[in-house]
Amino acid sequence: MHSMTGFGRGSHATSEIVVHVEASSVNRKQGEIALHMPRSLGELEATLRKRVLQRVSRGRVTIQIKLDHPLGVAAGVQLDAARAKALNAAFTDLSEAIGRPIIPGPEIFLRAPDVFSFEEDSTPDSVLPALEPALDEAIDALLAMRQSEGNDLKSDLQQRLALLEQETNAIEAKAPAVVSSYRDTLFRRLGEAGLDLDLNDDRVLKEIALFADRCDITEETTRLRSHFRKFHEYLATGEPVGRSLDFLCQELNREFNTIGAKANDATLAQHVVNAKTELEKMREQVQNVE
């Protein structure tokens, strides 16, 4: 089991380029890839997305790609002299307008758009031999972290699932006593009302039978057991199971809601509340499972 939260770094160098990659991921229902890289590598975007999605099925993965040149190799710098002169002339005009000299420093020209431009001398073909292993290294580290967190999630979900099964056992043990308690209460109230009815009177037996039918939770507990078994199966597999676990949590909630509606008993209702409290915590955890 993998979490959807992780981080990893990777670097690789060739004689022409050094590539640094950082990969981070957060929760998302689907697989999303966000790439941040030099514009000169734009044509590689589809290839890189596919490479990442082959290994990550859920979560928003952000990939940061930075390029460095080996010592002695540098990108060219282009100066737009016309823009630089126009900027300097603008400061001259400003000095005349306010009556005092204003001399622009180097930082003014560096910050001004398009005065200096840096040539991207790294082509996709020259970068790819270093980019692919750097990306793989970053994804390896990302997945290792996701697996480590996934193991913690798995342990937590197993403990909470065991608590749900305990509450279900208590519900099943208490359920038969609900009808007996109702029958005793019905007889007591009939006696207090001065209605001397035979305990085998058809009307009394019919009322008890109808109540027993309304309170029967056999179907719900049977489905709960089935969902528990499936939950354990999903936890044991190494495949992405986040969507499946989320669906099971919804189904478990549905069954406990039905049992709560049929409860007619304070103790039984308390077990349902306990179960739904644990189930809500499970649903929160499942949102982070790939």
Same-domain pairing of 101 and 143:
no
Mean pLDDT across the stretch 52-81?
A: 81
Question: For 103-146, how does the pLDDT look when each residue is reduced to its tens digit (9 = 90+)?
Answer: 888 888 888 877 776 555 568 888 999 999 999 999 999 999 99
Question: For 276-290, how does the pLDDT look when each residue is reduced to its tens digit (9 = 90+)?
Answer: 999 999 999 999 998
Q: How confident is the model at residue 79 (pLDDT cuts 50, 70, 90)?
A: confident
pLDDT of residue 248: 95
Q: Is the model's pLDDT at 254 over the cut of 80?
A: yes
Q: What are phi and psi of 16, to 5 degrees?
A: -105, -30
pLDDT of residue 192: 57
Same-domain pairing of 183 and 242:
yes
Same-domain pairing of 93 and 191:
no
How many structural domains compose the chain? 3
Structural domain boundaries enclosing 275: 148-286
pLDDT of residue 265: 75
Q: Is the model's pLDDT at 101 over the cut of 80?
A: yes
Buried b (16+ CB within 10 A) or exposed e, 27-60: eeeebbbebebeeebeebeeebbebbeeebebbb
Same-domain pairing of 129 and 113:
no
Q: Is the model's pLDDT at 273 over the cut of 90?
A: yes
Question: For 179-236, how does the pLDDT look when each residue is reduced to its tens digit (9 = 90+)?
Answer: 555 555 655 555 555 555 565 656 655 655 555 556 677 788 899 999 999 999 999 9
Same-domain pairing of 104 and 132:
no
Alpha-carbon gap, residue 63 to 178, rounded angstroms? 59
Within a domain: 1: no
CATH label of the domain that carries residue 198: 1.20.140
Same-domain pairing of 53 and 178:
no
Q: Could you tell me where the DSSP H helices lie in 193-241?
A: 202-215, 218-236
Q: Is the model's pLDDT at 154 over the cut of 90?
A: yes
Same-domain pairing of 14 and 43:
yes
Sheet with 18-26: strands ordered across: 6-13, 18-26, 59-68, 31-36
Say which residue, 238 or 241, is predicted with more confidence: 241
CATH label of the domain that carries residue 43: 3.30.230.40
